[in-house]
Amino acid sequence: MKREILLGDEALGLGAIHAGLSGVYGYPGTPSTEIFEFIERRTKKAGDVHAFWSTNEKVAYEEALGMSWAGKRALVCMKHVGLNVAADAFMNSAITGTNGGLVLAVADDPGMHSSQNEQDSRYFAQFALIPCLEPRNQQECYDAMHEAFALSEELSIPVMVRLVTRIAHSRTAVATREPLPQNALRPDKQIRKWTLVPVNARVQYQHLTEKQPELIRRSEQSPRNALDLRGRRGVVACGLAGNYLYENLEPDHDFSVLSIGQYPLPPRTLRRLIEPVDEVLVLEDGYPFVESALHGLFGIDDVQVTGRMSGALPRTGELNPDLVRAALRMDPLPTACPPKADIAGRPPALCKGCPHTDSFRALNDALGGYEDPQVFSDIGCYALGALPPLEAVHSCVAMGASIGMAAGAAHAGYAPAVAAIGDSTFAHGGITPLMSAVQQGVNLKVLVLDNSTVAMTGTQRSMSTGPTLDQIILGTGIDEDHFRVIEPIPRNHERNVQVLRDELAFDGPSVIIARRACIEAQKRKVV
């Protein structure tokens, strides 16, 4: 048995490799990115694991499902909002079922360290009627992959492994096992199983519902759902929250504790906790998933249930040991170094020498003659253009939404309607809204910020940059006379402003590419 010092993301990735992984798929997104990158590094020399970033999360999930169909074990990894993009394929894969093991690793981001929301992926697992494992630490991340792949193949169902930022991006020692061999190629050619026309889908959905008692039985028996009955005060601790709980408890504590690490929820085990106690505190990093179930599903009347819904814990943000201690009604621990309230905040900023700075300066000057201009931005480094001193963009909602929102504003009569989107984000979610806008002749201006990489998540390879990006854009049907390319450098500023002004004056769809490589990617020699 070897031990390695690993991030939670890395532990999960190594667990997948050692579980006989044949392919990993995903799209970069904090806090999940390191799962893919670790597998890519570890398997690159041998070349026996497929590891190549996908265009978006939906494509990644479909590729993983195809590998599962072929009988091989596949891992697909993404952040929580990425699952929204993959949801169509994900939900239907629960109905088709699997052949080779298919595991979905989702990294949630409570506290929104680098995300638009705090959504809780446990609801997606419940929605799809599939099992979900929630590791408490890095060792459990590693072990979870062996369990998840085995469970997926045994029950012919996808399995979710849910992480949160604190586990994904913290590091500790992990004990490893001997690697398993990869599965042999054994395609599943059951046409009725994989072809979800209604007559087949009804049968497959019935099969899925019939698996639910078995999923509950396995949760009841899982060592990840451990019950320790001691006193009249009960605690349900989900995943990472269990660490915060035990940081505050002495070995001889008198709390009855149920640690939850596998879903669906085990109703009998929950009742065994609830029956002898007077109150139950629910600790979970994310939405009040278990707390709401205890209120509704189990119909509890004579036991006080507290947590995020009740106000015992904050409704938003991450948990921490101090918050848990307060919810346990314990006195706060003394602080050796009280934090100073006068420390200045340090908001994120574009890197020095970033090409987006020159792009936005040109855009700001070009829009200077318009009253109250609106620039719809997208997901990427350039969203930082919303902050001083540039203050160049005014919305950031979802991957590809900049073009769709700008088109909608143009439909409403707003002008000029401008969208700013990165090269990788354009391939991810910008192609289809641009095609729609071009076909409708919408008075829309799209500024594509081509810095040759997926910069915000660590300078991964971009699917659409340089000549490839040009060809894709022209393929949407855009008029070549209103397809322009500028180089965002200071000496080109006046020329770039004029190009932008010319296109802003045009009544119809136009695309301007601002093309200069990311300064950090150049330093790392990845472009």
Cβ–Cβ < 8 Å for 430, 392: no
The token pair that represents 318 in the structure block: 């991450």
CATH class of 355-523: alpha beta
Enter the CATH code of domain 3-210: 3.40.50.970
Residue 136 predicted with pLDDT over 90: yes
pLDDT score, position 339 = 67
Tokens 């050796």 -> residue: 336
23-35 tens-digit pLDDT: 999 999 999 999 9
Distance CA 290, CA 293 (A): 5
Q: Give the residue-averaged pLDDT of 219-227.
A: 97
The token pair that represents 426 in the structure block: 């354009």
Q: Give the residue-averaged pLDDT of 269-288.
A: 95
pLDDT score, position 253 = 96
Beta bridge partners of 263: 132
Return the number of other C-beta atoms located less than 10 Å from residue 119's C-beta: 18
Q: Give the residue-averaged pLDDT of 249-264.
A: 96
61-97 tens-digit pLDDT: 999 999 999 999 999 999 999 999 999 999 999 999 9
What is the residue-wise DSSP string for 256-274? EEEEE-EES--HHHHHHHH
All structural domains of the chain with their residue ranges: 3-210, 226-327, 355-523
339-374 tens-digit pLDDT: 666 777 777 889 898 999 999 999 999 999 898 889
**Mean model confidence pLDDT for the chain:** 94
Distance CA 503, CA 417 (A): 11
pLDDT score, position 300 = 63
pLDDT score, position 336 = 75
**Any residues with CB less than 8 A from the CB of 443 and at least 6 apart, and which?**
410, 415, 416, 417, 507, 508, 509
Predicted TM-score (pTM) of this structure: 0.93
* Domains 3-210 and 355-523 are alike in CATH topology: yes
Tokens 């300064």 -> residue: 519
**Any residues with CB less than 8 A from the CB of 208 and at least 6 apart, and which?**
94, 95, 97, 129, 157
pLDDT score, position 429 = 95
> Is 525 or 24 the better-scoring residue by pLDDT?
24
CA 168 to chain centre: 12
Residue 402 predicted with pLDDT over 90: yes
- Confidence class of residue 301 from pLDDT cuts 50, 70 and 90? low
pLDDT score, position 459 = 84
Q: Which fold has domain 226-327?
A: Rossmann fold (3.40.50)
pLDDT score, position 523 = 81
**Any residues with CB less than 8 A from the CB of 503 and at least 6 apart, and which?**
445, 482, 484, 510, 512
